[in-house]
C-alpha cells in the first residue's frame, strides 16, 4: 500500500492470496489506507489562538 495506496481491494486480495469473504478485507483496507496516503503538498497548517505560546 505504500507504493500504490489506491490499489483496488480485489487486486490486494489476489496478491496476498485472500480466500475469505471480500467485505472483511475491504473494511480492513478502509481503516489502513489513510495511513499510507502521501502528504498533500499544498495542505496548510492551522494553529488555534494561543496554541504555540
Q: Look at the block and give the residue holding cell 489513510.
A: 34
**According to the model, what pLDDT value does residue 31 have?**
92
pLDDT digits (tens, 9 = 90+) for 6-31: 899 999 999 999 999 999 999 999 99
What one-character-per-residue DSSP string does 21-37 give? -HHHHHHHHHHHGGGGS
Total-model pTM:
0.64
Q: How many residues are present in the chain? A: 53
pLDDT digits (tens, 9 = 90+) for 29-51: 999 888 888 777 887 888 888 88
SS3 of residue 1 by DSSP = coil
Which residues, 6+ apart, have CB-to-CB distance to 8 below 8 Å? Answer: none
Query: Cα–Cα distance between 25 and 17 in angstroms, integer?
Result: 11
Question: What is the domain partition of the chain in residue ranges?
Answer: 1-37
Residue 2 pLDDT more than 80?
Answer: no
Amino acid at each position: 500500500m505504500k507504493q500504490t495506496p489506491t490499489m483496488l481491494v480485489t487486486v490486494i486480495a489476489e496478491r496476498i492470496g485472500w480466500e475469505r469473504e471480500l467485505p472483511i478485507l475491504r473494511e480492513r483496507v478502509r481503516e489502513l489506507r489513510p495511513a499510507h496516503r502521501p502528504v498533500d503538498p499544498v495542505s496548510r497548517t492551522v494553529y488555534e489562538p494561543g496554541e504555540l505560546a
